[in-house]
Structure 1
Amino acid sequence: MPIVNVNMMEGRPKEKIEQVIADLTETLAKTLEVPKENVRVLVTETPKSHWGIAGESVEKRTAKNS
């Protein structure tokens, strides 16, 4: 059973996340020749305050650039 973990920053619309799940499922099922029912996609959304780039959180970087 293929399992895919997707990590992304929070804030995207639920419809976009649903599309990611659908697209990944379709691609894995086709590429690996397995039923879609066997594919698992786990999406983890991380708060911008917990995602660091160049030594500071995205939340802080965004605030600085606003």
Structure 2
Amino acid sequence: MPIVHIELLEGRTQEQKNALVREVTDAIVRTTGAKEEAVHIVIQDMEKGNYAVGGKTKLQ
């Protein structure tokens, strides 16, 4: 059972997340032979203030 965790900065629409889930599922099925119903995907939206690069949060 493949389990995929995806972390994104907040702001994506539900339609974008649905498309992402579809594409990731298809890639896993195609490359591993796993059954579609066995693929589990967890999406975590991060607040921009909780993610930093180079000493600055994405809110700065």
CA shift at 1:23, angstroms? Answer: 0.5
Of structures 1 and 2, the larger Rg is shown by: 1
TM-score (norm 1): 0.87
1:48 aligns with 2:45: no
**Unaligned segments of structure 1, at least 5 residues:** 61-66
Moved over 3 A (4+): none
What SS does the corresponding residue of 1:37 show, helix, strand or coil?
Answer: helix
Alpha-carbon distance in 2 for matches of 1:5, 1:57 = 22
The one-letter amino acid of 1:52's match is A
Deviation by residue 1:5-45 (Cα, 9 ceiling, x = unmatched)? 11110001110011101110011011100110000111111
**Unaligned segments of structure 2, at least 5 residues:** none
Ranked by relative contact order (alpha carbons within 8 Å, sequence separation 6 or more), the top structure is 2
Identity across aligned pairs (percent)?
23
Alpha-carbon distance in 1 for matches of 2:53, 2:26 = 32
The one-letter amino acid of 1:3's match is I
Alpha-carbon distance in 2 for matches of 1:34, 1:3 = 11
Alpha-carbon distance in 1 for matches of 2:24, 2:39 = 9
Residue pairs, 1:7-26, within 5 angstroms: 7-26=7-26
